Amino acid sequence: MKTDPILVIGATGKTGSRVVAGLEARGLPVRRGTRGAAIPFDWEVPETWMPALSGVSKAYVTYYPDLAFPGAVDKVAGLCEAAKTAGLDHIVLLSGRGEHHARLGEEVVRNSGIDFTLVRASWFAQNFSEGYLRDPILSGVLPMPGGAIREPIIDIDDIAEVAVTALAEDGHRGALYEVTGPRLMGFADMAETLSQAIGRRIRHIPISFEDFHANVAEAGGPFVADVFTAIARETLDGRNAHVCDGVQRALGRPPRDFADYARGAAASGAWANAA
């Protein structure tokens, strides 16, 4: 029996690439939703949406750089309209924990008339090894705002596995999975854990949000810096200082610990060229 492909929007991103790999490991056909794909998808070119959605029954939806970015909610609303016209029957949306605009995006999907699964994620552990915080780690520092705020930071592999499971198996439609790591950690705790995994000292440096913006802009440009600084200002106020059971409910197992992530990333060479 022929199976419709599953559209993965953001298929080359941190979570999207892992979702693609997880779906293909299950033998499921995937349509990559990227600008360079055979059937391209571009958030900035709505004319690409319907062709990418045509013949698809399910989709994993991420918005780059984040649902909190201005205009994102309107684009997600437009995508849902196109998806409904195309006959899509299940959307798995990646959302951000504690973000007002991300909640608005969730409501758009929830009210779209299409079956949905919402994956509301905390801060990504892989930002230290694959994202805008990798360069500071290579230099031996972890500069973060938020003071002594603690976060239940999550491994992206867990996020991807939740999304793959929701797309590939029954029983997840209508669910909200708020996914976090298994424990709260301060940024000083994370720096110490990274130090142990990498084998050299990583120092946590408390900084202002202005300095955080400058650091991210240097690594990823002002566009990314604006987004992530806004998210940091909004979420690093204690609102997310509690763990949730989304991974356990979706997968039947606890989430991966940050120490396991750090050891795995170090073993894979993520910080191999650290000074």
Question: Considering the domain 6-267, what is its CATH architecture?
Answer: 3-Layer(aba) Sandwich (3.40)
242: left (phi over 0), alpha (psi -120 to 50) or beta: beta
Indicate if the pLDDT at residue 16 is higher than 50: yes
Indicate if the pLDDT at residue 183 is higher than 90: yes
- How would you classify the pairing of strands 30-33 and 6-9? parallel
Cα→Cα distances 216→93, 126, 210, Å: 26, 15, 10
Mean pLDDT score across all residues of the chain:
94
205: left (phi over 0), alpha (psi -120 to 50) or beta: beta
What does the domain layout of the chain look like in residue ranges? 6-267
How would residue 1 be classed by pLDDT, with cut points 50, 70 and 90?
very low
Distance CA 137, CA 158 (A): 23
Calculate the CA dihedral of residues 108, 109, 110, 116 and round it to 10 degrees: 180
Cβ atoms of 154 and 180 within 8 Å: the answer is yes
pLDDT score for 132: 80
Percent of the chain with pLDDT over 70: 99
Minimum mean pLDDT range among 3-17, 29-43, 69-83, 205-219: 205-219
